Structure 1
Amino acid sequence: MSEQTWDKVFDVNARGVFLGAREAARRMAAAGAGGVIVNIVSTAGFRASAPGLAAYVGSKHAVRGLTREMALELAPLGIRVLGVAPSYVPTEGNMLAAAAAGFTAADAPPTDLMLGGPIGRVGVPDDIARVALFCASDLSTFMTGSTLLADGGTTA
């Protein structure tokens, strides 16, 4: 992996989360009403994913760590910080990334990555949205610094 690739992945995944959360926290603090920041992590923030993904896995571990540290630093302002760690979900972006990585129709479809999980089905974007909604809602008011797995049990 080139340093350029490493830097690009970390810029998007880790630096992007930091900058977005920092701006959200500034606005929440100025409003004086607290709030919730939900960071998107990945199951790659819990385990290695596949060969050649060192930058992605490292950046997602970084986001998990940022989530914990931000929770500590922002708690006095009434701001909670949680992470959501989805596994592979076949979104348009993920399908394009799979094609860019060289997956073809002759290969096993990327959706097969989820079929071996305990739930036995592929996740859909709405599955992840529901976990994010829970994090942002009053149902999770006693939570901060945690990252919730939304993976159909594949990381178990």
Structure 2
Amino acid sequence: MAAAGRGGVVVNVISTAGFRGTAPGLAAYVSSKHAARGMTRQLALELAPHGIRVLGVAPTYVPTEGNRIAGAGPVPDGGSLPPMMLTSRLGRVGVPDDVARVVLFCASDLSVLMTGSTLLADAGETA
């Protein structure tokens, strides 16, 4: 992007784990998400002179087939919800499209004055 000289946008998908701890045994995962937030901020500084914006999106847990395979919980159409989802302040479980909409906002000109920020797509989880 920098070599092309036309600017652009980098959107890093992070996690709410980049804002707080999650559960025992996830120190490496949580640390990597905090690092991704730091990288987002630093790259925003380094790439701004090239007209490149860098933003992060930190979604809460969203049940997907990939998460089920990884052992992280049920898919939307089967099984019970993980306990963390029973406390959603919005009263519903997120779906991948919810996160995609936030990423789309970041990649669009609607966020033209933003760089270095990480947006929470967390149904109020970290409030």
Unaligned runs of 5+ in 1: 1-27
In the alignment, residue 33 of structure 1 is paired with which amino acid?
R
**Alignment partner, residue 141 of structure 1:** 112
CA contact (8 A) 1:119 1:152 kept: yes
1:91 counterpart = 2:71: no
What CA distance in whole angstroms lies between the structure 1 residues aligned with 2:82 and 2:62?
7
Contact 1:89 1:111 in 2 (8 A): no
**Cα drift, residue 112 of structure 1:** 4.1
C-alpha displacement of 1:46: 0.2
TM-score, scaled relative to structure 1? 0.75
What is the CA–CA distance in structure 2 between the aligned matches of 1:94 and 1:86, rounded to whole Å?
13
- SS of the residue aligned with 1:37? strand
* Corresponding residue number in structure 1 for 2:51: 78
Asked if 1:117 is matched to 2:91, the reply is no
Q: How many Å separate the matches in 1 of 2:86 and 2:105?
A: 25
Residue 30 (structure 1) shift: 1.7
Q: Please list every run of 5 or more consecutive structure 2 residues that lacks an aligned counterpart in the other structure.
A: none
Aligned residue number for residue 65 of structure 1: 38
Residue 9 of structure 2, aligned match among 26, 36, 50: 36
**Secondary structure of 1:31's match?**
coil
Alpha-carbon contact 1:98-1:110 (below 8 Å) kept: no
Number of residue pairs the alignment of both structures matches? 123
Task: State the SS of the aligned residue for 1:63.
Answer: helix
Structure 1 consecutive aligned stretches of length 4 or more whose deviation exceeds 2 Å: 108-113
Question: Is the helix fraction higher in 1 or 2?
Answer: 1
Higher relative contact order (CA 8 A, sep 6+): 2
CA RMSD of aligned residues (A): 1.7
Q: Percent identity?
A: 72
Instruction: Determine if contact 1:95/1:110 at 8 Å carries over to the other structure.
Output: no
Q: Secondary structure at the match of 1:29?
A: coil
Between the aligned partners of 1:110 and 1:52, the Cα distance in structure 2 is: 21
